[in-house]
Amino acid sequence: MKLVPKSTDPEERSEIPGLQLLAVIKDSPAAKAGLVRGDRLIKINNVKLEKPEDLTSTVRQLRGQTVDLQYLRADTELSTKAQLN
């Protein structure tokens, strides 16, 4: 999974939640959870994702667990579960 952080413009950062997926690798936990390119991950197990480091540290801490993902797709908030490797 490749990510792009929210806009670097401080005024825009508050308006755009989460991290946008630039790519989803086939057979990855993200793909198996139904995430697609363009989705914006906003929370893992209710932990807000504001920068790529948030995702990295949260995934590292929860490795091997099934987690709840909250994400945006076309301005609609959705949720799913993913098994982290």
Cα separation values, 41 from 12, 21, 22, Å: 17, 7, 11
What domains are there in the chain, each with its CATH number? 2-83 (2.30.42.10)
pTM: 0.80
Q: What is the pLDDT of residues 43-61, one digit of tens each?
A: 999 999 998 899 999 999 9
Within 10 A of 31 (CB to CB), how many other CB atoms are there?
A: 14
Residue 85 has what pLDDT?
Answer: 85
DSSP 1: -
- Mean pLDDT to the nearest integer, 70-85: 95
What is the distance between the alpha carbons of residues 78 and 53, in angstroms, rounded to a whole number? 22
Percent of the chain's residues with pLDDT above 90: 73
pLDDT at 10 over 90: no
- Mean pLDDT to the nearest integer, 59-69: 95
Q: How confident is the model at residue 7 (pLDDT cuts 50, 70, 90)?
A: very low
- Mean pLDDT to the nearest integer, 20-29: 92
